[in-house]
Amino acid sequence: MDPALYRRRVEEAAAAIRETTTLDANIGLILGTGLGALADEIEAEASIAYDAIPHFPLSTVESHHGRLIAGRLDGVPVWAMQGRFHLYEGYGPKEITFPVRVLAALGVETLLISNAAGGMNTNFRRGDLMLVTDHINLQGANPLIGPNDDDWGPRFPDMSMPYDEGLRRLAEEAALEQAIKLQQGVYVAVEGPNLETRAEYRFLRGIGADAVGMSTVPEVIVARHMGLRCLAVSVITDECFPDALEPVSIADVLAAAAEAEPKLTALMRALVSGIV
């Protein structure tokens, strides 16, 4: 798509959202699979269904709600996306990252992301939280392909540290304070929607990843393109050890995400309060 048209759509979406609230927030939250309940903790000033926002994609995954919430979390103003978009839904990389451009247009400078991921590091257990230290993009797709909009960011954005060091330190401190076990590791993004074969898990572990999932990386690429500070936390929903692999259902994944939700909610709350 013509970059000028794409930018106009972003601006139209942001303008429509602006009509529903005067909230001034520079923190954005993307709430992933089964982790939407954090949204219930937000004192909402406005809650906008994605289908009411011009040009927004629609969430097709049952486990993802589709609304943008403007409100306060423990008094701190935030924008929260309850539900996100994935390549496996059939959307392109620019469509799934459209909301990140919109968040930036609304004034977001810090992006906190959660996701569900399969744990390949054998020190990880189902239900653990993992602070993402770095990522590998194996989706065969990139939201920055095509003409570059120089007003947003450079043609060749740096990726030497996609996950902000200060935010990670804050997360470590918050986890320690609240006695939440926080693993750390590299997240590899795949296209999905199927889970991996044993051979694929062995390969992904071998190239340096600790956890695997189907999201987050496109959003972080676009956020970094615009210079936003990023932090991501994965909930380890299944153990992906190739030599002891058990079948996993989406119900298992959602159940693990729901069980870990109180820990993630506590961590995110502490982070949001710590940023200000």
Nearest distance in Å: CB 253, ligand HPA: 5
196 sits near ligand HPA (criterion: CB under 6 A)? yes
237 sits near ligand HPA (criterion: CB under 6 A)? yes
Q: 42 or 214: whose CB is closer to ligand HPA?
A: 214
Q: Which one of 78, 108, 212, 260 is in contact with ligand HPA (CB under 6 A)?
A: 212
Choose the binding region for ligand HPA from 50-58, 82-90, 99-107, 210-218 (rule: CB under 6 A). 210-218
Q: 178 or 197: whose CB is closer to ligand HPA?
A: 197
Q: Which one of 13, 38, 117, 270 is in contact with ligand HPA (CB under 6 A)?
A: 117
Do residues 263 and 177 lie in contact, with contact meaning Cβ atoms separated by under 8 Å? no
- Reference 238, options 224, 252, 220, 218; nearest CA is 252
Write out the E strands in the chain: 27-31, 43-49, 67-73, 76-82, 110-119, 129-137, 182-189, 211-213, 229-239
Q: 13 or 204: whose CB is closer to ligand HPA?
A: 204
Type of residue numbered 260: A
State which residue has the least CB distance to ligand HPA: 118
Choose the binding region for ligand HPA from 42-50, 154-162, 237-245, 260-268 (rule: CB under 6 A). 237-245
Q: 107 or 127: whose CB is closer to ligand HPA?
A: 127
- Reference 98, options 203, 18, 8; nearest CA is 8
233 sits near ligand HPA (criterion: CB under 6 A)? no
Q: Which one of 118, 153, 162, 185 is in contact with ligand HPA (CB under 6 A)?
A: 118
- Reference 139, options 184, 86, 63; nearest CA is 86
Return d(Cα 152, Cα 74) in angstroms, integer: 31
The Cα-based distances of 251 to 37, 58, 100, 102, 130 in angstroms read 17, 22, 28, 32, 21
Nearest distance in Å: CB 105, ligand HPA: 30
Choose the binding region for ligand HPA from 87-95, 188-196, 224-232, 260-268 (rule: CB under 6 A). 188-196
Residues 144-156: b if buried by 16+ CB within 10 A, e if exposed = beeeebeebbeee
213 sits near ligand HPA (criterion: CB under 6 A)? yes
Type of residue numbered 266: A
Q: Which two tokens stand for residue 203?
A: 């390969």
Chain positions contacting ligand HPA, by CB under 6 A:
116-118, 190, 195-196, 212-214, 237-238, 240, 253
